[in-house]
Chain A
Amino acid sequence: MIDAENQDSGNIATGSEPQVELAAERFAFHGNGTDYFRIWIVNLLFSILTLGIYSAWAKVRTKRYFYGNTELAGDRFEYLASPMAILKGRLIGAALLAVYTVAGFISIEISFVAFLALTLLLPFIFVQALRFNAVNSAWRGVRFGFDGRFAPAYLTYLLFPILGVLTLGLALPWAFYRINRFQIDNHRFGATASRATAGPGGFYGIVLISLMAFTSLAFVFSIAFGVYIMASFSPEFFESLAELENSGADTVAVPEMSSLILTVVLTYFVFLLLFFVAGLLYEALRFRLVFNNIELADNKLRNNLSAGGYYWILLSNMLLTIVTLGFFTPWARVRRARYALSRMWLDTAGLENFAAAEADRVSARGDEIGEAFDLGIGI
């Protein structure tokens, strides 16, 4: 799950493959919110008290908890990164951020140059982050790996998305498809490479569904809003508006005006919210697509996630986290992991014979630069 990504949107022919007995090995998540809350709150406290220094140790402990509670075929995943490596990376990331911030205080031109430089750094940071995370993830003592090269990374993370925007979004789902392919195809478990089987069609599909969801939500809301306006403002209000049009009076008392303005402002926020809500739907659909379409030699990663169910988890997690001012976070993370993993399995012919690759050694820099900029890589 950790390094897995997706594949093609579905019906890849299976007929051409040699006949192997495939058995389903299910994933499971054993963590619970209360246990994780204890870890989270101690992490939070010491991260604050040490002005962020402890966050490197906090991160390792958190990832170890989540990996260690994730089971496949009777064995747990392992997170092996050293906190010191992460701290080093985090300090470099913070220094970069500081330079960028200071640039903003010097002049617009310098700040723009800093922005360009950061943008050009991004694909490099992405690749380093994926590599660091992969190499420090293991199962049954065998580490994952990531072999993405920088040139294709620049095409994938910079050029293709820019192309997507230049084509007014028409090529954007294709760019998403390429990003996914780049990430999955370059991952390996030990010496065994994984392969994405999700095609561009799948990505166009999920973008389209999310857009349609947004449009219909907006449509329904607009109608409801119209009805609300008509119902909640007195007929006198509309009369006084009409009167104004005709009378040419300079100043007229319209006591309900402020609530009308308030309603308009609220409308703006509701539309923003609808956009976010549709974004979560995209996230749920993407997760299902990606993690249903990964092959590792003869093994196939599958899930029967319900888009609606997963979507509900994401949405309610977000709302509860907001309502609790962030303190629901531990339960939200556990809930999400438990749901997603309970619906994932690996169709496999046997998990005994994956060979490890030459030991990978990578500095934590890439990963933690990514962290500092909140790139949100991985699961």
Chain B
Amino acid sequence: MRELRGAYFDGANSRKQPALLRWSASSLTVLPDDGDRVSIDLTQLRLDSPLPGTPTRMSWGEGQSFVSFDVDGLLRLRRDLALDQGWAARLERNLSVVFAAAALCIALLALITIWGVPALAARMAQFAPAESSDQLADVLLAQLEPIMEPSTLAQSRQRELAGYFLSHEDAADIRVEFRSIDGLGPNAFTLSATTMAFTDELVELADRDEELLAVYFHELGHARLKHVEQRLLSASAWLLMFGLMTGDVGVVGDMLLSAALFGPAMSPYSRSMEREADAYAIDRLLQAGVSPQHFIAIMEKLEYASRFIRLSPESDASGDDPSSSPDSEEISAIINRDREKEFAELVLENFSTHPPTPERIAYARSRMAEIE
């Protein structure tokens, strides 16, 4: 006969009855200090797996229970009655298991974050219907509305460009929007798998339509590969993942956590997506028999323009300004000089979504060299 102390609750009310639990190999009995003895049917007994700092509870019948803090007594009870404490409790108590679990968790989470989620998103994005992509583009355009102006390009010029793009690519399902956007300067961006936008400044910056075609193909790469949809899916998956992991910090904390983790990556595209789009663009240019030199030309002009931001749109009305098209040597000099000396630029570069322009140009050159 062995015994341990604890408290007995009959389940009918909240009265606590200090009691003794007494057991042998075949019987289990609760002896309240003042009250009648209670026999426990061993087949009905449920003994909770131990947790540090908490009493262990055993229950049976209609909500009757016995609770005890007597760790040694409980250990003997488990042994005598051959009751298992559960593998979770065993693992938690083993420090090397805990360390191994931590290391494994970090590795698995990193793997899922960096590789698993984007790979899954890339698969899933392919199922996104064109309808959703249209809707997505509309929402984004509506959000940009406050800083956008209707294009000042002539309707005929817009139609001419759209027609020119389509003559090289069967992409009638892609909407091409022209807009003037305050402070953005020359730029083009993909809003979704079905919509892209050019700024007026970009159209004006290009000296030849082939340069715009190069940009068009780059954006088409984003659209065809559904990059925007992929990023959205990834962002939701990360949010969900860290929500499940941290639980308590709430939606706010999850968002901040994701932002902290993926801040650089949360921007519309990752660098690898830019490289994919560049490769797509060069492929299409070569197929269309247009020299990738035009891709290089527009890249250089964009890089140049990003350092010399146009602040007074009124002056555009004055017409062509020869100073806006410096010769390429001048451009190269500026690009290289600025790159070397500006530390701030370097920091920005590391967080920027696009690979450095020289790298992209070098890529285009290498592709040109391949075919020669």
A residues with CB within 8 A of B: 30-32, 35, 37-39, 41-42, 44-45, 47-49, 55, 57, 61, 64-65, 68-69, 74-76, 78, 104-108, 111, 139-143, 190, 241, 244-245, 248-255, 257-259, 261-262, 273, 276, 279-280, 317-318, 321-323, 325-327, 329, 332-333, 336, 351-356, 359, 374, 376
Contact = CB atoms under 8 A, between A and B. Distances in A.
A352 B14 contact: yes
B172 interface: no
Contacts of B9: 140-142
B321 A259 contact: no
Given A249-B315, A317-B249, A141 B88 contact: no
Nearest to A269: B259
Q: Is the interface of A mostly helix, strand, loop or mixed?
A: helix
A321 B257 contact: yes
Contact of A250 (B49, B252, B310): B310
Contacts of B247: 329, 333
B205 to A, nearest CB: 11
Contacts of A332: 248-249
Contacts of B368: none
A250 B54 contact: no
B51 A39 contact: yes
Interface stretch (B34-42, B76-84, B96-104): B96-104
A113 to B, nearest CB: 14
Interface in B51-72: 51-55, 57, 62-65, 67
Contact of A252 (B13, B128, B311): B311
11 contacts: A61-B51, A141-B64, A248-B314, A250-B315, A252-B311, A321-B253, A325-B257, A325-B260, A329-B245, A352-B13, A356-B11
B143 interface: no
With most chain A CB atoms within 10 A of its CB, the pick from B9, B91, B257, B311 is B311
B120 interface: no
Contacts of A253: 307-308
Interface stretch (B129-137, B149-157, B216-224): B129-137
B292 interface: no
B253 A251 contact: no
B88 A105 contact: no
Contact of B248 (A44, A45, A333, A359): A333
Contacts of A38: 52, 92-93, 98
A353 B14 contact: yes
A262 B348 contact: yes
Contacts of B246: 321, 326, 329
B323 A250 contact: yes
Given A38-B98, A57-B88, A250-B310, A108 B135 contact: yes
A188 to B, nearest CB: 13
Contact of B13 (A61, A142, A251, A359): A142
B183 interface: yes
A353 B253 contact: no
Q: Which of under 10, 10 to 19, 20 to 34, or 35 or more describes the interface residues of B?
A: 35 or more
A255 B318 CA distance: 24
A326 B245 contact: yes
Contacts, number: 200
Given A42-B98, A322-B260, A68 B250 contact: no
Given A248-B312, A250-B323, A351-B14, 7 more contacts: A31-B53, A48-B105, A140-B14, A140-B15, A141-B64, A251-B310, A317-B248
Contacts of B132: 104-105, 107-108, 111
A80 B232 CA distance: 39
B48 interface: yes
B48 A64 contact: yes
A107 B57 contact: no
Nearest to A273: B256
Among B64, B253, B345, max chain A CB count under 10 A is at B253
Contacts of B321: 250-251
- The 9 A-B residue pairs whose C-beta atoms are closest, nearest first, are A68-B54, A141-B9, A354-B14, A140-B14, A38-B92, A35-B52, A45-B101, A250-B321, A276-B252
A61 B49 CA distance: 9
B346 interface: no
Contacts of A75: 7, 16, 67
Contacts of B13: 142, 190, 352-356
A47 B310 CA distance: 54
B227 to A, nearest CB: 17
B121 to A, nearest CB: 12
Contacts of B309: 254, 257
B333 interface: no
Interface in B95-126: 97-98, 101-102, 104-105, 108-109, 112, 124
B101 A42 contact: yes
B140 interface: no
B303 interface: no
Contacts of B15: 140, 352-353
Interface in B303-347: 306-312, 314-316, 318, 321, 323-324, 342, 344-345
Nearest to A355: B13
Interface in B335-366: 342, 344-345, 348
